């Protein structure tokens, strides 16, 4: 049987990498009997899930925004260069 400390370590470790089957089972068993660690793992998973969702939304939203901004900025720069060079070329 895992101690609560070991179980907590496995919970946070399971977020970053897939645990070996033996450790997964040991953790499962501990969570079955220990409601403190069960609550802890739920909170950790919830927080992790929220963070992933927020990061995913950001990643999904950022490219179109920056694309439209850069396209607009590019146009403005091109126009500015055009106007500038045109006015410059005129005597």
Q: Which residues bind Zn ion (CB under 5 A)?
A: 4, 7, 34, 37
DSSP H stretches of helix in 1-34? 4-16, 21-33
Min separation Cβ 30 and Zn ion, Å: 6
Min separation Cβ 38 and Zn ion, Å: 8
By beta-carbon proximity to Zn ion, the closer residue of 5 and 90 is: 5
By beta-carbon proximity to Zn ion, the closer residue of 43 and 79 is: 43
By beta-carbon proximity to Zn ion, the closer residue of 3 and 68 is: 3
Min separation Cβ 71 and Zn ion, Å: 54
Which residue do the tokens 């953790």 mark? Answer: 27
DSSP string, 47-79: HHHHHHHHHHHHHHHHHHHHHHHHHHHHHHHHH
């Amino acid at each position: 049987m895992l101690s609560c400390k070991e179980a907590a370590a496995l919970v946070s470790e399971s977020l970053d990498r897939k645990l070996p089957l033996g450790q997964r089972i040991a953790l499962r068993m501990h969570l079955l009997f220990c409601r403190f660690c069960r609550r802890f793992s739920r909170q950790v998973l919830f927080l992790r899930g929220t963070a992933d969702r927020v990061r995913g939304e950001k990643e999904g939203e950022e490219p179109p925004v920056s694309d439209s901004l850069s396209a607009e900025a590019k146009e403005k720069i091109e126009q500015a260069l055009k106007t500038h060079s045109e006015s410059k070329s005129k005597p």
